[in-house]
Amino acid sequence: MSRFINSRLGQLEEYVPGEQPRDMQYIKLNTNEFPYPPAPAVLERINTDEVAALRLYSDPTVRTLREKIAAHYQTSPENVFVGNGSDEVLNFAFLVFGTDGVRFADITYGFYPVFAALYDLPVAIAPLRQDFTVDPADYIGCGQMVVLASPNAPTGLCLQKADVIKILESNPDHVVVIDEAYVDFGAESMVDLTKTHENLLVVSTFSKSRALAGARVGFGIGDAALIRDLNRIKNTTNPYNINRLSMAAAEAAMDSQSYYDEKIRELKSTREHTKESLREMGFFVTDSLANFLFAAHETIGGQALYEALKNRGILVRHFSAPRIDGFVRITIGTPQQMEILLRQIKEILENGG
């Protein structure tokens, strides 16, 4: 740290992403990336012409991509904001809407407390129930910005639409952010509620279900006035926040729905098979509707299982946080990768580590 840094900012805790090993010899099940490549149309679209066009700035209005996203979600382009990853959308939302404080769960996406601290916002932590479900009562009439992930990370559990409506209607003067990064893997989207509830911002991403984590494209859907607020921040920080190649890739991905539908079907079936196999081995596994499983075993701790798997060439995620210390989060890979995972876990349990 330099002696020039703003002293408050110098004390911020940084978000710690999952490992991204440089040698790539691991089976990588630790950061919830899609196990299949982007759609063929994405690969075709990133050609030499597209690269040559990099001398020009990208479209600051992100018009074509917003139109495609709007068409898919049956809304209008003015209801869509595109960010450099959904992390940027969340970042802007905390900055613009969080003044009265933000309320989120004790076990959820680790970036929420980081954004709250960045903007020095009051934080109210609402502990999940014992079974890791959200108690809607914690959010009803709370008078703060609410941030909920559905499916939640790292549990994979979802919100009920009726509960979201209650939370929205009891907090008419505050924005409710529903983070749907994993919604395409089987959960119910709340996007249709953006038409009737001006305080709802649904946030989603191309990183998980569209195989474009490295492109950094996310989006928010909400009332046109909310979207204008987000654009105000974008246009006062980085008007060209989406680069040309990523925009082209995301556009092509939006045109390839049937490819993604098929791969997602495959992934969901792999998830259910893996979940059953883990349960047969004595694991407690949540009923995740995301592209990962959250699992704990009585005879081996989360950290020990993470390390034993890493020694065997498989990366999963372990969080050394209260309540979830005994768990690992396992991204769903290809069927072949999950077979290797299950075989290795079986050996680890038999050998005691």
Ligand X SMILES: *Cc1c(COP(=O)(O)O)cnc(C)c1O
Phi, psi of 29 (to 5 degrees): -120, 40
Find the shortest distance in angstroms from Cβ 247 to ligand X: 14
How far, in Å, CA of 167 to CA of 179, rounded? 15
Query: Per CB under 6 A, does 117 bind ligand X?
Result: no
Q: Using the rule CB under 6 A, is 113 a contact of ligand X? A: no
Residue with tokens 């330099």: 2
38 binds ligand X (CB under 6 A): no
* 219 interacts with ligand X by CB under 6 A: no
- Does 33 bind ligand X (CB under 6 A)? Our answer is no
What is the smallest separation between the CB atom of 82 and ligand X, expressed in angstroms?
Answer: 11
Given a contact cutoff of 8 angstroms between Cβ atoms, the answer to whether 29 and 316 are in contact is yes
Q: Can residue 205 be called a binding residue for ligand X (CB under 6 A)?
A: yes
Min dist CB 280 to ligand X, Å, is 28
CA distance 304 to 288: 23
The DSSP output letter for 163 is H
**CB closer to ligand X out of 147 and 300:** 147
Among 102, 158, 168, 181, binds ligand X (CB under 6 A): 181
CB of 10 vs ligand X, minimal distance in Å: 25
Among 29, 30, 87, 105, binds ligand X (CB under 6 A): 87
Using CB under 6 A, count the residues that bind ligand X.
13
User: Apex CA 248: angle with CA 245 and CA 254, to 5°?
Assistant: 140
| CA separation for the pair 108, 41 (Å, rounded) | 34
Q: By C-beta, is 87 or 223 nearer to ligand X?
A: 87
Residue 315 DSSP SS3: strand
Nearer to ligand X, 216 or 297 (CB): 216
In angstroms, give the least distance from the CB of 218 to ligand X.
4
- Angstrom distance (rounded) from CA 124 to CA 127: 10
Span 261-300, contacts to ligand X by CB under 6 A: none
Within 10 angstroms of residue 26's Cβ, the number of other Cβ atoms is 16
Query: Quick one: 146 exposed, middle or buried, by C-beta within 10 A (0-12, 13-18, 19+)?
Result: buried
CB closer to ligand X, 179 vs 251: 179
C-beta of residue 255 within 8 angstroms of C-beta of residue 68: yes
Task: Tell me the residue type at 145.
Answer: M
| CB count in 10 Å sphere of residue 266 | 15
* Candidate segments 69-77, 81-89, 240-248, 280-288, binder of ligand X by CB under 6 A: 81-89
Binding ligand X (rule: CB under 6 A), the pick from 38, 77, 85, 220 is: 85
CB of 152 to ligand X, least distance (A): 7
Interface mask toward ligand X for 121-160; x: CB under 6 A: ----------------------------x---x-------
Q: Please check whether residue 86 is in contact with residue 203, taking contact to mean a CB–CB distance below 8 angstroms.
A: yes
The dihedral through the CA atoms of 57, 79, 212, 164 has a sign that is positive
- Which residue lies nearer to ligand X by CB, 39 or 242? 242
For ligand X, the binding residues (CB under 6 A) are 32, 85-87, 109, 149, 153, 179, 181, 205, 207, 213, 218
